[in-house]
Structure 1
Amino acid sequence: MILSAILTEEVTLTVLPANNVESGTDVILRCETSVSQSLPQPLTYSFRLLQDDQVMYSKNISASVMERSLSSARVSNSGRYQCSVHIYDKHKTSNILSLSVTGLQIPMLNVKSDIMSEGEDIIATCSAPEETGSLIFNFYENDLDVKRVISSSNSVTTTLTTQKLTEIYLQCAYMVIMHPNAGLSNKSNMVKVIVRGNNLDAITPQISFSPKGNVVEGDRVQITCKVQYPPDIELYLTKGNTVLHESHTTFTKSLVVRAEDSGDYVCKAEKGSVQKKAVFPLHVAELFSKPILRMSPDQVFEGERFTLTCSSNVISSVKIGIADIKYVLLKDGRRISAVAKYEDTASPATNGQYYCMAMAKEVNKTSSPHDVKAKGDEFMLLSNVLLVNFPSHRRCFGIALSLPVSRPVLEPKEVTVSEGSDLILICRVQQGTYPITFTWYHNRVMLLSSIQEVRSLEGRHVVKVIERDQRGDYYCEASNYASETKKSYPVRIGGTFFNSNTSLPFVHSKVIVELLLNCNAYSRATPPPAPSRFLPPRDL
């Protein structure tokens, strides 16, 4: 085999002129290998030079010697060096040599402007153009270390804040991050910065409101934030922690106010680190009170009429009258009426959360919610006193009671459903007295037009042309005159297909179960009487 004719004797690494040099010295790293071979063709040597176990140079050559020059070596070139050589599948490494470069360049400091106004920031640049590697720069103000900045290059620009009217003397220094033992460089040249005073009254803002008199909900208020010295000014209008408007010059903010807009409005002017502000307290009187939604009667049975009334009191009678307040009634977030008084007949379909809104002069207020849940039909047990003297005198009484049913099952009709097809949802109960009302929900939101009242143990709802955003959890609710609504566990429709054979949850439902009170012995084969609210006594 041809590779067996190659033998790498040794690999030697040398550093010239010495292992310890001053910063700025030209250094040569020389890697040389000795190879014995019996092949007639020249060999290719793959050299790699490592600094602190990291490859910093590599080269493929036909010579057995490789040199790497470090022109004007710097502290960042210090480290432990090693050389490796690959010839075909032969590999050998050299000895390890340490190179120590001492001495750091003195940095240079300059500023964008050496004459500043109070509050203005000093823009300073510190650089060591001959250094390499990542550096930490320190900035000094009158010999005090005021800021430290890390940079991946040999230069950094930063902002220094002035707080006093004085002369400031700035300097900088740096350190090589990977070689902290090299220490901190000497300080840079000194730069003198003169900070002059400003006419602070010129940047002190003024705030004013129009109208200046009493302010009532629905009024349009003009808020003006004014400053005399606009150049390089940041002007803000705030209320609490909210910034309402910002600008570089005088501005006016217009808004229609409500009672909750009462509070302190602040106009702030900022120039550099100097900040001035003006405060104006605003009180907004209520136009009308928060509406109250009342129900009469307080409790209602299915089939009974009930009334919802929304009312509010006029507080600022100079602005509006009672006839100016308009009302809207909402059920479960949907508008159902635009009058203050609403009447309906209680049923499972009227169950829900109601609230109303009162509106006047661009102001609207919402009442607290009111839950309406109709109770099941009332029933009365009537009885007659009957004296039975003979065995042939027998009486039978029948009565229908409202009782809950077993849980139903929600299931899809199709085995798979893909985007663009119809999704058929079946809500089925095992038992229950008719009629039964079924309602379907998607992600806890009722599906439009999904309420069905049927005389059957199951209801069906079709989601036409199902789309991607109609994936998610579906469930249904069932109820009847027992006035107890129950819902199923959710069925998840996810991805492009789903398996309808998965075990599905039950649905709440209500059922009227007939109870027959019979004073006569019936045969097991004899059917019970038809259910009714009350069956009068009859002779047998």
Structure 2
Amino acid sequence: MAAAQKKTYIKKVTLSIEPSNEVAWDTNVTLRCQAVLSKQEVVQFTIYKSEDVVCTQTMSSSNDLLCPLTNLKVDNSGRYSCEVKFEDKEETSSNHELTVTEAPAPVLHINPIEATEGDEITLTCVAPEQASQLYFYRDSENIKTMKTNSTQAVWKRHVTISGTHTFHCSYGIHTVQTYYISPNSNTVSVSVKELAITPVLEITGPQKIYEGDQLSLTCSINTSLPSTSDAYLYLMEGTEHLSEGFPKVNHSLLVLDKGPADFTCELVVKRVEKRTSKNISVAELFSAPTLTLSPAEVFQEDDVTLTCRSDSYASERLNDSQLMYSLDPPQDFLYSKSNGVFYGKAPKSEINVSCVAKGKGVTKSSEISTLRPKVPVSIPEISVVGPAILGQPVKILCRSHTGSLPINYTLVKGYTPVRATTVRLASEEAVFTVESTSDLGSYKCEAKNSLKNPQLSERLIDAVTVPLSNLTMTVIPDLAEITEGGRLYLICSVEGTPPVTFKWYRSDDENPVYAVTSYSHNTQHYQIPVLSRKHSGRYRCEAANPANNIVYSDFVDIHVRMALWKKALIGGVCALGSVSALVVVLKLYFKSRRDTVDNEESSVDYTEMVNAQPADPSRERSFSKFKLIQNYLRSTMGQDRLSGLAVLSIQNEPARKFDIRQIVGEFAERKARPVPFL
């Protein structure tokens, strides 16, 4: 089988610039593209400048593509590459940078080169190749930049400054990588003659000018020119435009401000500006007024006087009666006592006001003053900061709810000042510390923020908190009488000032089993309404009040005993067992005796043996009690009552120690039923 035909592939593509990558302006270069393939084929060569096609040709890969570039310009500078395509394959060479240097300078033409101020001249800048922008310079200062897509630019302008001036130009070209600036063109000198016309300014007025004087101003030119729109006169004071016209401008004005006044007469002709200025001095007619307040410290509704006055005035131009004063804005609560003096009652809120002085058309104002009537201090309140604890220092607060700061507070004991302080900020408080609580009721507080009489508070009324002591816990009923089903009271009593918070604890629990706060009493109790064996344990009481001291009682051991009915039941069971055992013993005994009698043929009657008197008298009494209970009371009681009475009868000595009243009371509470009252 024949061998498979090998495919052609592109090994390498190279580009070279001959004779060099950097050449002078207006020279020739050749771009050479070479391709190396695995075997000779017909391929397409393409040379690019950036993304623009420069040369392209289809030919044998054994030949080089030669692309000549003649008369290079700056615009030919850029990045070049070569691409070779064969069938569906292509390969590109590396980039080569071509730089064109030593471009010639542009040429500048100016017409005319001699002119008069206001004349128009034409500047023409010609570049050796197409430029992106053209620049015009006067005396080395760039005065015009023109965008263009041609090789030259024409600019017309009016010359407005006399003298000899030099002009030149240059051009710039955008290349792909940079922006090229050409050398400067030739320099052209232009001679500009001054326009032979000058504005004239005349000022007429008093020899010494004061504020309020009338001035007459005249603006004209020193030579006659025909009335034309190309010439115009402007009259100004500083930067303020006063008047305009041609060929003469007249203006009259009242001088209002002291100091230097600058006036200018300006002529504009053929875009040329000619100016003449004059400076005059203006004396002060009267000084700016000042506004004073009397008294300096004023309270709401107090009498107040505002005085508006100028400290000095030119008596040769103005007398005192020609200078009038007023308030700005006018105040309704004030009336004028005389020129510049205003009297009335101080308002309740602050106001901003200034005074105005007027004379001979001149108006001057004072600086704005703020009238802040002070608020009289109110009657202070005196109180204790926190609880007043017996035996500890006490802090006393004095405070007035209204009153302008600063306020002077004085702590008074009886009629004697003890301590004083001044509150200057709203965040401050007047707090005094006294060491003893024994005489708190004799303290008062005095507040003052003016020369008027101070305000005095009521006497301090604040209860003294006595720290807690002597905490005891009482148990009801007695410890020996605490049984199941009963009710238990743990009563805590303490000495000290309420409110008191009581807490009861069991020794095996960190949390209290009960807590309560008493606001008027020093005794509280914790009740367990129905006791059980689980309530046994060690109990104690804790108490606390605002004095922040905590006191504890001693531990009390609570042992909940078995209920009496349980004891009676157990006793009855035990007694029944004993009787049963005794019966068995007696039966055995009598049987043995009977057998003995039969054997001995005794003549003793069995019945007499059984009914014989017992040797132990207590046993006889025991049997007698049971007989009494069973025979005479049996029909009126149940088994529980029978067992209880049996126990009480047998254990009569301990039973006599019970408190019958307490038992009856508890019975009445448990068995109480509402009975309708008829």
Compute the TM-score of the two structures, normalised by the length of structure 2: 0.42
Q: Does 1:117 align with 2:116?
A: yes
2:400 to 405, 428, 433: 433
Query: Which residue identity does 2:455 align to in structure 1?
Result: R
Match of 2:264 in 1: 266
2:243–2:251: 8 Å Cα contact kept in structure 1? Answer: no
1:13 to 15, 20, 23: 15
Mapping for residues 51-450 of structure 1, pairs under 5 Å: 55=50, 57=52, 73-83=72-82, 93-99=92-98, 101=100, 104=103, 107-118=106-117, 122-128=121-127, 130-133=129-132, 153=148, 154-155=151-152, 157=155, 184=183, 195=192, 198-199=195-196, 202=197, 204-211=198-205, 215-219=209-213, 221-227=215-221, 228=223, 237=235, 242=239, 244=241, 249=246, 250-252=248-250, 255-260=253-258, 262-269=260-267, 277-312=275-310, 315=314, 322=321, 325-330=324-329, 340-346=340-346, 349-350=349-350, 354-360=353-359, 362-374=361-373, 377=376, 433-434=400-401, 436=402
Query: Which residue identity does 2:199 align to in structure 1?
Result: P
1:326–1:360: 8 Å Cα contact kept in structure 2? Answer: no
Cα distance in structure 2, aligned partners of 1:48 and 1:253: 78
What per-residue deviation string (whole Å, max 9, x for no partner) do you get for residues 374-428 of structure 1?
556489xxxxxxxxxxxxxxxxxxxx5699xx9xxxxxxxxxxxxxxxxxxxxxx
Aligned length: 396
Bigger helix fraction? 2
Query: Which residue identity does 1:308 align to in structure 2?
Result: L
2:300–2:347: 8 Å Cα contact kept in structure 1? Answer: yes
How much is the aligned-residue C-alpha RMSD, in angstroms?
Answer: 6.2
- In the TM superposition, residue 307 of structure 1 has moved relative to its aligned partner by 0.8
Query: 1:252/1:343 Cα in 2 relative to 1: closer, same or farther (>3 Å)?
Result: same
Cα distance in structure 1, aligned partners of 2:107 and 2:281: 58
1:301–1:346: 8 Å Cα contact kept in structure 2? Answer: yes
- In the TM superposition, residue 258 of structure 1 has moved relative to its aligned partner by 1.0
Mapping for residues 26-37 of structure 1, pairs under 5 Å: none
Mark the runs of 5 or more structure 1 residues left unpaired by the alignment. Answer: 38-42, 380-399, 407-429, 437-479, 485-506
Bigger strand fraction? 1
What per-residue deviation string (whole Å, max 9, x for no partner) do you get for residues 250-285 of structure 1?
544554421336434233447789875434333434
Query: 1:536/1:22 Cα in 2 relative to 1: closer, same or farther (>3 Å)?
Result: closer
Give SS of 1:259's match.
Answer: coil
- In the TM superposition, residue 26 of structure 1 has moved relative to its aligned partner by 8.0
2:161–2:192: 8 Å Cα contact kept in structure 1? Answer: no
Give SS of 1:307's match.
Answer: strand
2:104–2:183: 8 Å Cα contact kept in structure 1? Answer: no
Give SS of 2:342's match.
Answer: strand
Cα distance in structure 2, aligned partners of 1:284 and 1:34: 96
Query: 1:214/1:336 Cα in 2 relative to 1: closer, same or farther (>3 Å)?
Result: farther
Cα distance in structure 2, aligned partners of 1:175 and 1:373: 71
Match of 1:533 in 2: 455
- In the TM superposition, residue 206 of structure 1 has moved relative to its aligned partner by 0.7
Query: Which residue identity does 1:433 align to in structure 2?
Result: S
Query: Which residue identity does 2:110 align to in structure 1?
Result: V
Q: Percentage identity across aligned positions?
A: 24
What per-residue deviation string (whole Å, max 9, x for no partner) do you get for residues 484-534 of structure 1?
7xxxxxxxxxxxxxxxxxxxxxx96499979999x996688x998999935
Query: 1:107/1:529 Cα in 2 relative to 1: closer, same or farther (>3 Å)?
Result: closer
- In the TM superposition, residue 77 of structure 1 has moved relative to its aligned partner by 2.1
Cα distance in structure 2, aligned partners of 1:89 and 1:309: 104
2:323–2:357: 8 Å Cα contact kept in structure 1? Answer: no
Give SS of 2:129's match.
Answer: coil
- In the TM superposition, residue 354 of structure 1 has moved relative to its aligned partner by 4.0
Query: 1:17/1:252 Cα in 2 relative to 1: closer, same or farther (>3 Å)?
Result: farther
What per-residue deviation string (whole Å, max 9, x for no partner) do you get for residues 228-256 of structure 1?
4577568665656x464696855445544
1:80–1:98: 8 Å Cα contact kept in structure 2? Answer: yes
- In the TM superposition, residue 290 of structure 1 has moved relative to its aligned partner by 1.7
Cα distance in structure 2, aligned partners of 1:320 and 1:28: 100
Cα distance in structure 2, aligned partners of 1:431 and 1:535: 9
Cα distance in structure 2, aligned partners of 1:174 and 1:337: 78
- In the TM superposition, residue 337 of structure 1 has moved relative to its aligned partner by 6.6
2:105–2:128: 8 Å Cα contact kept in structure 1? Answer: no
- In the TM superposition, residue 130 of structure 1 has moved relative to its aligned partner by 2.3
Cα distance in structure 2, aligned partners of 1:169 and 1:534: 93
Give SS of 1:322's match.
Answer: helix
Mark the runs of 5 or more structure 2 residues left unpaired by the alignment. Answer: 1-6, 386-396, 408-423, 448-453, 460-678
Give SS of 2:298's match.
Answer: coil
Query: Which residue identity does 1:209 align to in structure 2?
Result: I
2:232–2:268: 8 Å Cα contact kept in structure 1? Answer: yes
Give SS of 1:290's match.
Answer: coil
Cα distance in structure 2, aligned partners of 1:222 and 1:373: 47
Query: Which residue identity does 2:211 align to in structure 1?
Result: E
Mapping for residues 495-506 of structure 1, pairs under 5 Å: none
Match of 1:389 in 2: none
Query: 1:520/1:329 Cα in 2 relative to 1: closer, same or farther (>3 Å)?
Result: farther
- In the TM superposition, residue 12 of structure 1 has moved relative to its aligned partner by 3.9
- In the TM superposition, residue 294 of structure 1 has moved relative to its aligned partner by 2.0
- In the TM superposition, residue 126 of structure 1 has moved relative to its aligned partner by 1.4
Query: Which residue identity does 1:364 align to in structure 2?
Result: T
Cα distance in structure 1, aligned partners of 2:314 and 2:381: 49
- In the TM superposition, residue 73 of structure 1 has moved relative to its aligned partner by 3.3
Give SS of 1:225's match.
Answer: strand
- In the TM superposition, residue 358 of structure 1 has moved relative to its aligned partner by 2.1
Cα distance in structure 2, aligned partners of 1:170 and 1:536: 97
- In the TM superposition, residue 286 of structure 1 has moved relative to its aligned partner by 3.9
Cα distance in structure 1, aligned partners of 2:28 and 2:243: 58
Query: Which residue identity does 1:310 align to in structure 2?
Result: C
- In the TM superposition, residue 368 of structure 1 has moved relative to its aligned partner by 3.5
Give SS of 1:278's match.
Answer: strand
Query: 1:483/1:354 Cα in 2 relative to 1: closer, same or farther (>3 Å)?
Result: farther
- In the TM superposition, residue 295 of structure 1 has moved relative to its aligned partner by 1.8
What per-residue deviation string (whole Å, max 9, x for no partner) do you get for residues 161-204 of structure 1?
697778x897766687989999847x65x9785655643xx2x1
- In the TM superposition, residue 328 of structure 1 has moved relative to its aligned partner by 2.0
Compute the TM-score of the two structures, normalised by the length of structure 1: 0.51
